[in-house]
Amino acid sequence: MKKHIKSSWAEPYRMKMVELLKMTTRKQRQKAIREAGYNTFLLKSEDVYIDLLTDSGTSAMSDRQWAGMMTGDEAYAGSRNFFRLEKAIQKFYGYKYIIPTHQGRGAENILSKVLIKKGDMIPGNMYFTTTRLHQELAGGTFADIIIDEAHDPLSEHPFKGNVDIQKLEALINKYGANRIPYVSIATNVNMAGGQPISMKNLKEVRALTKKHGIRIIHDMTRVAENAYFIQQREKGYEKKSVREIVFEICSYTDGATMSAKKDALVNIGGFMATNEWDVFEEARNLVVVYEGLHTYGGLAGRDMEAMAIGIEESVSDNHIRARVGQIEYLGNKMMDFGIPVVKPIGGHGIFVDARQFLPHLSQDEFPAQTLAAEIYIDSGVRTMERGIVSAGRKPNGDNYYPKLELVRFTIPRRVYTQAHMDVIAESALNVFEERKKIKGLKMVYEPKYLRFFQARFEKLK
């Protein structure tokens, strides 16, 4: 495609099957969210019109993927689909050894157990909920080394996923390389709003870690989206394909964990990858304890086949341009309405700044949790809190108080239409116009781990 011809981001596919949705009344939704303890995770999906809870496992698979599922080899050991998956990972990402897992956190569990010792520090470009918890459960402490701009919803830095090299260097000097088993680098940082790391910054992290003999482990859940932003924004990458950029990103890292439920376009699946034989050996041994044999890791043969095909489809320029184009369409529409969103617009969804949206609520009144509930009541659009509830508690029991208090409108891949995007933006506007009347929440039930999934709330009077 010629770059100088501007055309719309229209989808490079057409529909051949549809799923009918239930429409509900406002009264039904008020009842449903109350019964769900004002937690969108506890709603029945049936009561949701447009589901933007997550982009995880919610993609539409292609006809090629569905056809691939029919070729599943469900042997307990040595399934042919495992070898197809292994080949796809080696070809498109370049990692040597792979271990399938049921999803991303399965890979995080095994990797953390293999690499982290009690007392270790794990620097990372912002935390992710499950990733940090596995680091902590393995005895490590997470240290945030992302640039300050990432914590500022108003900063328009083009690479808010970048590492602050000085922060990383200071940490290495303070603790010593021996206590840092790896630096955890996420591409298209989820909690920052789907924001990319630049290739230049990644190369700098590589140079510094190499000097100290420290690994980089890549959370590559949304690597294709990150590669697209590099192609669009970073000098020298305009003419490279997303596929080439993805491969280059991976080449600066030593291993990876992947939730294939996102960029790799499957409903279930993940893997751990490493270039080190010793790490592989130990992980391959542990996977049989927690997931399943090392040639299926908790997946059916057909799931591994769908993943192998999804990986290839995910690095196509046409796919990713339409994917991110749809999100930019929604984000621009919301910005035109004056709704405070994190800028630049991210790769997997729109992140609305709940502090700015509901300035009369304190963080202890859960502004983002409240806003997600109000959007659902307005239109049946289900979004997710990414603020104080998601941040959880420190190992010593104190609450984390994150700077970002966001509601995530996460867009599944290849699922919704432009008219759906219009409905979503209009609903956000409806709630925005009534925002002064909105009251906060109080937490009435708090689970010990990853509380955002199951916590319950009541409306403040």
**Residues lying near ligand F0G in the complex (CB under 6 A):** 54, 56, 103-105, 128, 130-131, 186, 190, 219, 221, 259, 261, 270
Q: Give the nearest distance from C-beta 192 to ligand F0G in angstroms.
A: 10
Q: Give the nearest distance from C-beta 303 to ligand F0G in angstroms.
A: 13
Q: Give the nearest distance from C-beta 186 to ligand F0G in angstroms.
A: 5
Closer CB to ligand F0G, 259 or 370, in the complex: 259
The residues near 154 (Cβ < 8 Å, ≥ 6 apart) are 343
Residue 262 designated active-site: yes
Residue 452 designated active-site: yes
Looking only at the bridges linking them, the beta strands covering 141-144 and 349-353 are unpaired
Q: Give the nearest distance from C-beta 372 to ligand F0G in angstroms.
A: 13
**How far is residue 337 from each of residues 155, 327, 417, 422, 432, measured CA to CA in Å?**
19, 16, 20, 11, 9
Closer CB to ligand F0G, 190 or 370, in the complex: 190
Looking only at the bridges linking them, the beta strands covering 441-445 and 456-459 are antiparallel
The single residue of 129, 141, 295, 383 carrying the catalytic annotation is 129
Secondary structure of 293-325 in HEC code, one letter for each residue: CCCCCCCCHHHHHHHHHHHHHHCCHHHHHHHHH
Closer CB to ligand F0G, 92 or 409, in the complex: 409
Rounded Cα–Cα distance for residues 133 and 73 (Å): 34
Residue 378 designated active-site: no
In this structure, how many other beta carbons lie within 10 angstroms of the beta carbon of residue 84? 19
Closer CB to ligand F0G, 296 or 432, in the complex: 296
Q: Give the nearest distance from C-beta 130 to ligand F0G in angstroms.
A: 5
Q: Give the nearest distance from C-beta 181 to ligand F0G in angstroms.
A: 18
The single residue of 47, 219, 254, 353 carrying the catalytic annotation is 219
Helix (H, G, I), strand (E, B) or coil at 452: helix
Closer CB to ligand F0G, 106 or 440, in the complex: 106
Closer CB to ligand F0G, 172 or 197, in the complex: 197
Tokens of 108: 């995080």
Q: Give the nearest distance from C-beta 107 to ligand F0G in angstroms.
A: 8
Taken in order 316, 321, 326, 330, the sign of the CA dihedral is positive
The DSSP annotation for 390-442 comes to HH-B-TTSPBP--S--EEEEEPPTT---HHHHHHHHHHHHHHHHTGGG---EE
Closer CB to ligand F0G, 326 or 383, in the complex: 383
Residue 167 designated active-site: no
The single residue of 262, 343, 413, 451 carrying the catalytic annotation is 262
Closer CB to ligand F0G, 219 or 305, in the complex: 219
Q: Give the nearest distance from C-beta 14 to ligand F0G in angstroms.
A: 27
Residue 221 designated active-site: no
Rounded Cα–Cα distance for residues 389 and 452 (Å): 5
Q: Give the nearest distance from C-beta 137 to ligand F0G in angstroms.
A: 14
Cβ contact 38:456 at 8 Å: yes
Measured in whole angstroms, the distance separating CA 416 from the mean position of its chain's CA atoms is: 18
Closer CB to ligand F0G, 270 or 367, in the complex: 270
**How far is residue 289 from each of residues 56, 283, 296, 443, measured CA to CA in Å?**
25, 10, 13, 36
The single residue of 128, 142, 296, 366 carrying the catalytic annotation is 128
- The closest residue (CB) to ligand F0G is 104
Tokens of 207: 């140079």
Rounded Cα–Cα distance for residues 100 and 296 (Å): 6
CA angle, 91 then 96 then 102, to 5°: 85
Helix (H, G, I), strand (E, B) or coil at 56: coil
- Pick left, alpha or beta for residue 288 (phi over 0 → left; psi -120 to 50 → alpha; otherwise beta): alpha
The single residue of 243, 386, 413, 451 carrying the catalytic annotation is 386
Looking only at the bridges linking them, the beta strands covering 456-459 and 406-410 are unpaired
The single residue of 76, 400, 445, 449 carrying the catalytic annotation is 76
* Amino acid letter for position 184: S
Task: State the catalytic residues.
Answer: 76, 128-129, 219, 262, 386, 452
